[in-house]
Chain A
Amino acid sequence: GENVEQHPSTLSVQEGDSAVIKCTYSDSASNYFPWYKQELGKRPQLIIDIRSNVGEKKDQRIAVTLNKTAKHFSLHITETQPEDSAVYFCAGYGGATNKLIFGTGTLLAVQP
């Protein structure tokens, strides 16, 4: 079945710097990769997603890239702000299992 690995587990950056979080997946048939942001004590919220027929997608300061050959995808946050501090989860949809499998999360701390 699908396995999603996420790195790093924690990331600290200075305000204004960029942050990059990387995920790898095992199921070559996976075709949907969302990213969720979860603030402390809150629900996970979808911030961006990408499908396997696209290599990159941007939404303001957030972008996601997908490399199907290498089976990895990344979240890029530019010009980070303190309100970007949260746990970020990647996920991959395993076609064989018909389930969304989540990574273990990255705690991002943006230092003012």
Chain B
Amino acid sequence: DARVTQTPRHKVTEMGQEVTMRCQPILGHNTVFWYRQTMMQGLELLAYFRNRAPLDDSGMPKDRFSAEMPDATLATLKIQPSEPRDSAVYFCASGWDSNQPQHFGDGTRLSIL
């Protein structure tokens, strides 16, 4: 059963530190999405890639967040510097397009102290 793999599953760090989250999409999927989930805001789309090219990052705070896809098997989301308000669960999902089924990873639960 193919699955999206995210690492780490949990991350606790102090504000100001750099945080890197990684995602391995399902083999063959050409679209990768990064979502943030909080109680207050629900599921928010931060950025997504198709065929490794960034298509939309309008949901991401540009000054501190960056998303990349160095190859077809790895997507990264970085926060530098991190702030307490960044505490959330970050999900990666992959699929064939925005209007096709998206398969979510288990998420990274991030706590910024």
Binding site for B on A (CB under 8 A): 31-32, 34, 36, 42-46, 49, 89, 93, 95, 98-105
Contact = CB atoms under 8 A, between A and B. Distances in A.
B42 A102 contact: yes
Contacts of A36: 104
Given A31-B99, A46-B102, A95-B99, 20 more contacts: A34-B101, A34-B102, A36-B104, A42-B106, A43-B91, A43-B107, A44-B91, A45-B104, A46-B103, A49-B101, A89-B42, A93-B99, A99-B45, A99-B48, A100-B33, A100-B45, A101-B45, A102-B42, A102-B43, A104-B42
Interface residues on B, range: 10 to 19
B91 A98 contact: no
B73 interface: no
B98 interface: yes
Secondary structure dominating the interface of A: strand
27 contacts: A32-B100, A34-B101, A34-B102, A36-B104, A43-B104, A43-B106, A44-B91, A44-B104, A45-B104, A46-B101, A46-B102, A46-B103, A49-B101, A89-B42, A93-B98, A98-B55, A98-B56, A99-B45, A99-B48, A99-B56, A99-B98, A100-B45, A100-B98, A100-B99, A100-B102, A102-B42, A104-B42
Interface in B62-113: 91, 98-107
A105 B104 CA distance: 16
A95 B106 CA distance: 28
Interface string B39-57: 0001101001000000110
